[in-house]
């Protein structure tokens, strides 16, 4: 999951020295092949996570969070 998230953050950016006036990497559009690849990878990761949850390896309930306002 970490590798998939890292790839999603990097896709569409040059890794060269070209930067905009704010110092950010210049956005670069990606083609339909890259879009289909990320959809397929996401479906695989989601299916894997669901199978882990169904087998009892992952918790089915999200962790509890504190209510807003400190209650």
Both tokens of residue 41? 């990878």
Closest to 11 measured CA to CA, from 1, 23, 25: 25
**19 or 21, which is more confident:** 21
One DSSP character per residue, 8-47 reads HHHTTB--SS-B-TTSPBPB----HHHHHHHHHHHHHHHH
| Portion of the chain with pLDDT greater than 90, in percent | 3
**61 or 57, which is more confident:** 57
* Confidence band for 16, pLDDT divided at 50, 70 and 90: low
Confidence (pTM)? 0.48
Q: What is the pLDDT of residue 19?
A: 80
């Amino acid at each position: 999951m970490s590798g998939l998230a890292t790839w999603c953050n990097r896709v569409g950016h040059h890794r060269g020295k070209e930067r905009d006036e704010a110092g950010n990497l210049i956005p670069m559009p990606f083609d339909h092949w890259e879009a289909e690849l990320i959809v397929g990878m996401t479906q695989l990761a989601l299916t894997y996570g669901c199978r882990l949850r169904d087998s009892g390896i992952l918790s089915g309930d999200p962790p509890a969070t504190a209510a807003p306002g400190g209650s």
